[in-house]
Structure 1
Amino acid sequence: MTQELHIVGAGMAGSEAAWQAAEAGVPVVLHEMRPQVETFAHTSGNFAEMVCSNSFRSDDHEQNAVGLLHWEMKQAGGLVIEHAYRHRLPAGGALAVDRDAFSAAITARLQAHPLIRTSLEEVTELPDQGQWIFATGPLTSPALGAAIQAETGAERLAFFDAIAPIVYTDSIDMDVVWRQSRYDKGETEEEQKAYLNCPMTKPQYEAFIDALLAADKTEFHDGETAGYFDGCLPIEVMAERGRETLRHGPMKPVGLTNAHKPDEKPYAVVQLRRDNALGTLYNIVGFQTKMKYGAQAEVFKTIPGLENASFARLGGIHRNTFLNSPTLLDAQMRLRSKPNIRFAGQVTGVEGYVESTAMGLLAGRMAAAEILGRTLPTVPQDTAMGALIHHITGGAEAKTFQPMNVNFGLFRPLEDVRGGRRGRKDRYKGYTDRAKAAWTDWLAAQEVSA
């Protein structure tokens, strides 16, 4: 009988790892502590629950590294990316999903797989025997975190992650707000009008910044310091960096024209993106926050169009943990001190749903190959997945290691056969063309060896 693979955590990475291993013919035990043990951020016991956002970001697979990861996962039969597209919501050039339908569908698929069984329990130790993947994500439980710290002998690395609020659509003033994606991006009219836009004049923006800076914030416990990941900064932290920071970040007004007042250019714009298929919920884009609940409602209701807003969920903040992977993991994502254990997902030091899922896909395939006695070819470094795994398992500087989104800066430079510098669009297309060829060859090599 084929040895079982144990996977701890049924988030994006764990769900994808379980699917990949089971599809390869390896029996999987998927351990998930929810709903028996709750976390700050999750609201259900479903697998692959989306918490911080409902977006997988850009799906442009020719000019964007995230979109290239989408493409690579689709070619590899990824479960998560399949359902992301199946439950897609209009969001301009982004891949946003109906988060409840998405996670429910993934849960059903995994529970129906004949080689996957689930165990609803908290795992608190790092086992000495068997093949394991720990994909516990940024919300690794304190008990398991302590076990990891004891095994690695290293201080737990941590940063704080913030969650954006969600608004009921029928509480938004549509006489003030208009529908438009930035630069009218999207192939259909629905895509081109995927966002709700709240315009601000300069006095309104200045008043908003003042309220934001003065609002009551969440206090940290003794000994905790806030090392935020730049891709998910609370809006208050951005405002503290300069009064114009938000206006050049999530509140930038470029590419938008107020349908109610087309001749009046907004000084700043707050965007909302649809959060479910019914269109009854919208999340405030980029508005992760550590404000206390009462302050949030007060400050956000100063935004034009949201004066009477009702919130399905207010924002929040939680502690995220990740490994210093360059020092702890080998190229197969195994813990050097316990090679029967792999790590996957955000706990390895990648940031974002897409990147976490990608690392789960690789960990599942690597573990399955080891159990089946097969040789898995090295993941090509010129692919998006290869660039990421190379970064976290040795390419990054261990002393300054921090969570990282996929980006073309992680890719090896292109050889310029023409002898001149490529333009950005040409260069990005070169990266994606090279990556697709390498990824296709890598997948084909596995089919030959199977």
Structure 2
Amino acid sequence: MTQTLHIIGAGLAGSEAAWQAAQAGVPVVVHEMRPKVGTFAHSSGDCAEMVCSNSFRSDDDERNAVGLLHWEMRAAGGLIMEMADRHALPAGGALAVDREAFSGAVTAALRAHPLVSFSEEEVTELPQDGPWIVATGPLTSGRLADSIRSVTGAESLAFFDAIAPIVHADTIDMDIAWRQSRYDKGETEEERKAYINCPMTRDEYEAFIDALLAAEKTEFHEGETAGYFDGCLPIEVMAERGRETLRHGPMKPVGLTNPHDPATKSYAVVQLRRDNALGTLYNIVGFQTKMKYGAQTAVFKMIPGLQNASFARLGGIHRNTFLNSPTLLDGQMRLRQRPNLRFAGQVTGVEGYVESAAMGLLAGRMAAAEIKGQSLPPPGFETAMGALVNHITGGAEAKTFQPMNVNFGLFPPLEAARGGRKGRKDRYKGYTDRAKEVFTAWLAAQA
């Protein structure tokens, strides 16, 4: 009788791990404490609930590392990418989804699978026996986190992550705002108008920065010294780094022309991206924040076009935890002290929805292979998945280990024949061409 694989956590990583193992013929029990035990960020008990952005970022699989990761997950029959594609929203070259429809579809697929079952009891201690995958993500419950620290003998590292607010679309003043993707990017008219843009003059921008810096912020508890992940900085932290930082970051005006006043170039632009298929909700792009709720409402209503905005959700901030994986995990993503335990997702020190799901995909396949008496090596370091798993299991410097998005800096250098000495665009195409060849061969070896 085939041994059962147990997975703690039904986020993106845990959901993908469960799907991959079940598709390989291994029975799976998913242990998910929600909704019985909630978190501050989640609002349901559905699998793969997206609590921050609704975007999987760029879908360009020829010159973008995260787009390449999309390609690899699709090639491997990934459930997360399949449901993301089914519930995609126009996003001007990015892959954004209707988050409720997406998580509902992932949940339905897993619950319909004959080899997948669910337990809604909270797991508070790392199990001693049997094959398990820990995919509890950045909001690992306190008692389980204590158990992880006890077993590993090391303090988990931590950083603070922030959530952007969501606005009701019908409260945005379209006499001020307009629809356009940056540089009109997109193959269809809908994609070219995927974003709502709110323009600012220099005076409006300066007043906004003043209010942002003066606003009341969430204070951390004494002794909390963790930093932020640079890919998800609160806007007020960016503003503290310099008054022009936001104007060259999420509020950059380049590639956008205001049809209400085409002769005047906006000094800054705030973009909102559709958050659901109905187009009734939009999230403010890049506006993660640690401002207190009252301050958020006042400051965000200073944005032209949002003066009468109604918020479906305000921003927030939470503590993320992750392992010092280079010292704790082997090349099979197993905990060295207890090889029956694999870790997957954001808790391993990858950053981003897609990266987390990709580590779940690998953990699920590796665990299934081991249960069936086989050995599955990770894909080559030339691939996006291989580069990520190499980074977290030994490629990174343990002393300075921090969460990492997939990027071409994690890949082995290109040989000259593939564009190693050419311009950046040719070089990126060389990386993706090579990765697809290596990943295709890795999949074929499992057939």
Task: Give the shorter-chain TM-score range.
Answer: over 0.9
Contact 2:166/2:283 (CA < 8 Å) preserved in 1? yes
2:403 counterpart residue number:
403
1:262 counterpart residue number:
262
1:157 counterpart = 2:164:
no
Contact 1:291/1:316 (CA < 8 Å) preserved in 2? yes
Contact 2:168/2:311 (CA < 8 Å) preserved in 1? yes
Contact 1:62/1:68 (CA < 8 Å) preserved in 2? yes
2:45 counterpart residue number:
45
2:203 counterpart residue number:
203
Once the two structures are overlaid, the 10-residue window that deviates more, 121-130 or 293-302, is: 121-130
CA distance in 1, matches of 2:184, 2:5: 47
Once the two structures are overlaid, the 10-residue window that deviates more, 377-386 or 351-360, is: 377-386
SS of structure 2 residue aligned to 1:129: coil
Alignment of 1:38-437 (within 5 A): 38-417=38-417, 421-437=421-437
CA distance in 2, matches of 1:262, 1:402: 43
Compared CA separation, residues 309 and 150, structure 1 to 2 (3 A): same
CA distance in 1, matches of 2:420, 2:157: 42
SS of structure 1 residue aligned to 2:412: coil
Superposed displacement of residue 226, structure 1: 3.8
CA distance in 2, matches of 1:352, 1:419: 28
CA distance in 1, matches of 2:156, 2:357: 22
CA distance in 2, matches of 1:133, 1:247: 42
1:4-46 per-residue CA deviation (whole Å, 9 max, x = no partner) reads: 0000000000000000000000000000000011101001110
SS of structure 1 residue aligned to 2:13: helix
Superposed displacement of residue 225, structure 1: 1.9
Structure 1 stretches lacking a partner, 5+ long? none
Look up the equivalent residue of 1:156 and give its one-letter code. S
Structure 2 stretches lacking a partner, 5+ long? none
Compared CA separation, residues 298 and 381, structure 1 to 2 (3 A): same
SS of structure 2 residue aligned to 1:444: helix
SS of structure 1 residue aligned to 2:85: helix
What is the TM-score when the length of structure 1 is the normalising length?
A: 0.98
1:63-106 per-residue CA deviation (whole Å, 9 max, x = no partner) reads: 00000000000000000000001100000010000000000010
SS of structure 1 residue aligned to 2:138: coil
Superposed displacement of residue 194, structure 1: 0.1
Superposed displacement of residue 387, structure 1: 0.4
CA distance in 1, matches of 2:376, 2:215: 53
Q: How large is the Cα RMSD of the aligned pairs?
A: 0.9
Contact 1:377/1:446 (CA < 8 Å) preserved in 2? no
1:216-264 per-residue CA deviation (whole Å, 9 max, x = no partner) reads: 0001111112410000000000000000000000000000000100000
CA distance in 2, matches of 1:379, 1:306: 47
Compared CA separation, residues 420 and 127, structure 1 to 2 (3 A): closer
Look up the equivalent residue of 1:160 and give its one-letter code. F
Superposed displacement of residue 420, structure 1: 7.5
CA distance in 2, matches of 1:363, 1:226: 28
CA distance in 1, matches of 2:371, 2:259: 59
Contact 2:418/2:427 (CA < 8 Å) preserved in 1? no
1:29 counterpart residue number:
29
Kindly, what percent of the aligned residue pairs are identical? 81
CA distance in 1, matches of 2:15, 2:23: 12
SS of structure 1 residue aligned to 2:139: coil
CA distance in 2, matches of 1:257, 1:287: 21
Look up the equivalent residue of 1:81 and give its one-letter code. M
Superposed displacement of residue 374, structure 1: 1.2
1:300-358 per-residue CA deviation (whole Å, 9 max, x = no partner) reads: 00000000000000000011000000000000000000000000000000000000000
Look up the equivalent residue of 2:305 and give its one-letter code. G
Contact 2:419/2:426 (CA < 8 Å) preserved in 1? no
Look up the equivalent residue of 1:120 and give its one-letter code. E
Contact 2:123/2:144 (CA < 8 Å) preserved in 1? yes
Once the two structures are overlaid, the 10-residue window that deviates more, 417-426 or 173-182, is: 417-426
CA distance in 2, matches of 1:81, 1:283: 21
CA distance in 1, matches of 2:84, 2:348: 23
Look up the equivalent residue of 1:53 and give its one-letter code. S
Look up the equivalent residue of 2:235 and give its one-letter code. I
Contact 1:377/1:445 (CA < 8 Å) preserved in 2? no
Superposed displacement of residue 128, structure 1: 1.1
